[in-house]
Amino acid sequence: MAVHPRWLRAVSPLAARLSAGVRTAGAAKGGRQEYYGVTDLHRIDSASVGWEGGDAGALAAIRPAVTFGFSSVPPEPSLARVRTTVLQAGSGKRS
């Protein structure tokens, strides 16, 4: 149920109110419809992260919020499991 396109279309307005920039349903290029269902979300309290042999620094909140397309990311360090469904234009078939 949590990843069904009808459910995600119905809850998208609520998700947008609860978390700025978040959408669970929207339009993509070529008339396709995209749906994003989060099935798991865990806060990350600590991590050791490096890049090209150097320390990448401490974990920090994402500020300002990242908003791209009709999706976003949680502001606090998190690990999310997201199921993406893309329906072809006019067919209702998944691609």
pLDDT, tens only, 18-73: 776 678 888 888 999 999 888 888 999 999 989 999 999 999 988 887 766 555 67
34: its two tokens: 């995209």
Please indicate, yes or no, if residue 93 is contained in any of the structural domains.
Answer: no
pTM of the entire structure?
0.67
Higher pLDDT, 16 or 59: 59
Instruction: Give yes or no for a contact between 25 and 67, defined as CB atoms under 8 angstroms apart.
Output: no
Contacts of 28 (CB under 8 A, 6+ apart): 34, 86
Please indicate, yes or no, if residue 94 is contained in any of the structural domains.
Answer: no
Higher pLDDT, 94 or 15: 15
Please indicate, yes or no, if residue 53 is contained in any of the structural domains.
Answer: yes
Q: How many structural domains compose the chain?
A: 1
Please indicate, yes or no, if residue 46 is contained in any of the structural domains.
Answer: yes
Q: What pLDDT is attached to residue 94? A: 62
Q: What pLDDT is attached to residue 40? A: 87
Question: How many Cα atoms within 13 Å fall on the side-chain side of residue 47?
Answer: 13
Domain extent, residue 49, equals: 5-87
Please indicate, yes or no, if residue 95 is contained in any of the structural domains.
Answer: no
CA distance 75 to 85: 24
